[in-house]
Amino acid sequence: MARVVVVGGGFGGLASALRLAKLGHDVTLVERSPDLGGALAEVSADGYAWDAGPTYTLLPAVVRDLFRKTGRPLERELELVPLDVVREHRFEDGTSVQLPAGRAPQLRAFDELAPGLGQRWVDHVASYSDDWDVVRRGYLENPWRPDDLPRELAARFDSRETLAKRLKRTFKDERLRMVAGHPLVAEGHDLRNVPAWMGLTAYVEQRFGAWTVEGGMARLGDALAARLTTRGVTTVTGTEATDVVVREGRAVAVSAGGGELDADVVVCAVDPRRLPALAPYVARSMPAIPPVVVHVGLDGPAPDLPHELVLHGDPMLVVRTGGRAPDGGSALTVHGRGRLSEDILRALARHKIDLRPRVVTRVDRSPRDQVERWGGSPMGVLWQGRATMRHRLGPGTPIPGVYAAGAHATPGAGLPFVGLSAALVAAEVGPA
């Protein structure tokens, strides 16, 4: 049995702590804020509540596997619900397309946008089948080491082709380029710096769909936090871990709360820049910047919108419906990226969605607010070209006994990547 200290109580930290505890280790989780969950937490004001971060997930098998491997199956605690429409895209020329899951529905949807676009779209998505298989087997589901990559995986990591170049070559219609690149743009990346193989998100969305939790994604964080007690994890909240203590070349403790927590294994599930022992190893990487976020509580019903609506332009606005509201009210969230030179709700009104007369309450979160609240960017590492893959840590690190999980240890943000990173850490540490 190893003494394990997990730094960070977001989804990556929760998943790592639960998996390692189930493997028989003595686990302590340290979180700087008073509450667990990180971006899975809930924001509330005046009787309204909103998901602070993601409102849906891809690859539901990742969440199901986490629950199955750490206790009761997911279905006995939460209801995971598929979305009929992953998102709707509206373009500046007045056209729009709803993106469902599944090949045939997507083909029909893009053909409604313009005849022939459906086939071009599904052919593009199908072109990522091999990328998904190689990346899944060699990187996402098995621990990897930069100096010992499978040949096919190394070929993708070392490719100079960017996603911007691939999309420009594939699509003459700019609207299809916007749809294909949106998941990365929404996370704060410039497609000119993103490797082409990261476009496989379109394949994952089409094949596996998007799923949400009945009652809000914050319920997922609550269920995992409650499971810590079941698994015997010691939880220390309101205490910041300030560094990994290294002696004779190996991690032996975590500095936190003015003292030290002895450890045989340390899991960093936060931005490694926060821990001076790890910071030099990620000095060549940068965090992706979160969007401007406004949570809005309305008087009356919500507008008739899909779960997620993308309004392309500059700024680009993303409207997410859902949340909890008092009787007679409704809740939604607006994200903004680009040149936001005016209030975000005024910018939204220019798209003929004017919520301002019905606003009861609002909670504004700047990118800085979010980084300070969570102790790092929930968007993970900024893509700065192909070398970015080797500038991040995880699941192993150069310090023996230290492992990395979470958004900063994966090629992208989102629950699937983060959940898989925790599984890799558990596989590396192994059973007690």
Whether residue 110 is found in the same domain as residue 239: no
Residue at a domain's end among 160, 183, 209:
209
Residue 430, phi then psi, degrees to nearest 5? 80, 175
3-class DSSP string for 335-351: EEECCCCCCHHHHHHCC
Assess whether 309 and 423 both reside in one domain: no
Task: Please tell me the predicted confidence (pLDDT) of residue 195.
Answer: 97
CATH number of the domain within which 263 lies: 3.50.50.60
- What are the two backbone dihedrals, phi and then psi, of residue 256, each rounded to the nearest 5 degrees? -160, 140
The mean pLDDT of the chain is 95
Q: Is residue 338 part of a domain?
A: yes
Counting every residue, how long is the chain? 432
Same-domain pairing of 232 and 104 = no
Give the pLDDT score at 370: 93
Spatial CA neighbour of 290 closest among 407, 121, 417, 402: 407
pTM of the prediction? 0.95
Of 151, 98, 360, 406, nearest to 267 (Cα)? 406
Q: Return phi, psi of residue 177, to 5°.
A: -65, -40
Residue 286's pLDDT band (cuts 50, 70, 90): very high
**Looking at the domain assignment, is residue 47 inside a domain?**
no
* Pure H helices in 76-208: 103-113, 117-126, 129-135, 151-157, 163-170, 174-186, 201-208
276 and 404 belong to one structural domain = yes
Given this model, what pLDDT does residue 411 score? 84
Residue 52 lies in a domain: no
Residues 258 and 118 in one domain: no
pLDDT at 61: 96
pLDDT recorded at residue 405: 97
pLDDT in tens, 312-369: 999 999 999 989 999 999 999 999 999 999 999 999 999 999 999 999 999 999 999 9
Q: Which residue has the higher pLDDT, 391 or 163?
A: 163
| Predicted local confidence at residue 136, as pLDDT | 94
Percentages helix, strand, coil for the chain, rounded to the nearest 5? 40, 25, 35
Confidence of residue 148 (pLDDT cuts 50, 70, 90): confident
Beta bridge partners of 212: 81
Domain of 302, in residue numbers: 292-372
pLDDT average, residue stretch 233-247 = 97
- Please state, in angstroms and rounded to a whole number, the distance separating the CA atoms of residues 314 and 246: 47
Tell me whether residue 108 is in a domain: yes
β-pairing, 26-30 with 234-236? parallel
* 46 occurs within a structural domain: no
pLDDT tens digits for 375-425?
A: 889 999 999 999 998 888 989 999 999 999 999 998 888 999 999 999 999
- Confidence bin at 160 (pLDDT 50/70/90): very high
Domain boundary among 187, 209, 231: 209
Report the range of poorest mean pLDDT among 56-65, 219-228, 404-413, 419-428.
404-413
Same domain flag for 255 and 395 = yes
Task: Tell me the pLDDT band of 255, cut-offs 50, 70 and 90.
Answer: very high
- φ, ψ at 303 (rounded to 5°): -60, 155
117-126 vs 103-113: helix crossing angle, rounded to 10: 140
Cis peptide before 367 (omega within 30 of 0): no
> Based on the domain organization, do 336 and 265 belong to the same domain?
no
Q: Is 415 exposed, middle or buried (0-12, 13-18, 19+ CB in 10 A)?
A: buried
End residue of a domain, out of 209, 224, 247: 209
Per-residue pLDDT of 6-15, as tens digits, reads: 999 999 999 9
Kindly report, residue by residue over 164-173, the tens digit of the pLDDT.
999 999 999 9
Distance, CA of 44 to CA of 41 (rounded, Å): 10
Residue 13 within a domain: yes
| Same domain, residue pair 173 and 257 | no
Query: 410 in a domain, yes or no?
Result: yes
Residue 231 sits in the same domain as residue 149 = no
pLDDT of residue 92: 96
Mean pLDDT of 114-138: 96
| Residue 413 confidence (pLDDT) | 84
Does 124 reside within a domain?
yes
Average pLDDT over residues 55-65: 96
Number of domains in the chain: 3
Structure tokens that stand for 110 in this block = 């893009």
Instruction: Give yes or no: residues 260 and 141 share one domain.
Output: no
130 with 114, same domain? yes
Residues 188 and 97 in one domain: yes
Of 168, 373, 152, 184, whose CA–CA distance to 271 is shortest? 373
Mean pLDDT of 270-295: 96
Instruction: Give the residue carrying structure tokens 């340290």.
Output: 30
